[in-house]
Amino acid sequence: MKKRLRGLIIVVILAAMIYGAAVTLALTGNLGSATAVVVLIVGAVLVPVALLIVWRRMWTPLTALERGITQIAEGDLSIQVPVAHDDELGDVTTHFNHMTRVLRDRAEEQGRFAAAGELLGGVAHEVNNPLMAIASHAELRLADTQIPAEQRNEMQNILRQAQRAAKL
C-alpha cells in the first residue's frame, strides 16, 4: 500500500510542531538567542516549503478531482482527470476516471437501447396496421353466415394468426 502522502503529512506536522516548540521556547527565553534565531530561520524556510509541497501534492489533485466531479454532476461524462502522482490521490483519480468511463459506456449503451426501442416501436406500429386490417377483414367475412365452411375455417385461422402476431 502506498504511504507517500501519509509520510508527507506526518513530516509537515512534525516540522510545524518543532517550529512551534522552537518559537515557544524562543519567546519564553528558554532557548539561547543564537540557537533560537537559527531554529526560527530554518523553521521559517522549511514550514512554507513543506506547505508548498503539500499544496502541490494534495490540493492541486483534489481541486482537479473536484472540477471533474462538478463536470460529471453537470452531465459531462467525457471528463478525464489527469493523474498527477503515483500515490493515494493518484489511485483515487484513476478510479474516478474508470468510473467515468463506465458511466459514459452505460449512457451510450442506454442511448443505443433507446434508439433500438424507438425503431422497434415504429416497426411494430407499421406491422400492426396491416394486421389489424387483415383481422378486421377476417372478422367481417366470419360475420357473413353464408360463407362456406372451408372459407370459414380459413378466416378463423387468419384471424387467430393475425391476433397472435399483434401480441408480439
pLDDT per position as a tens digit, 45-61 = 777 777 777 777 778 88
pLDDT confidence tier of residue 11, bands split at 50, 70 and 90? confident
How far is it, in rounded angstroms, from Cα 141 to Cα 137?
A: 6
pLDDT confidence tier of residue 167, bands split at 50, 70 and 90? confident
How far is it, in rounded angstroms, from Cα 160 to Cα 157?
A: 5
Q: Say what the pTM is.
A: 0.52
The predicted pLDDT at position 1 comes to: 41
How far is it, in rounded angstroms, from Cα 81 to Cα 93?
A: 7
Quick one: CA dihedral 132, 163, 161, 117, positive or negative? positive
The predicted pLDDT at position 35 comes to: 67
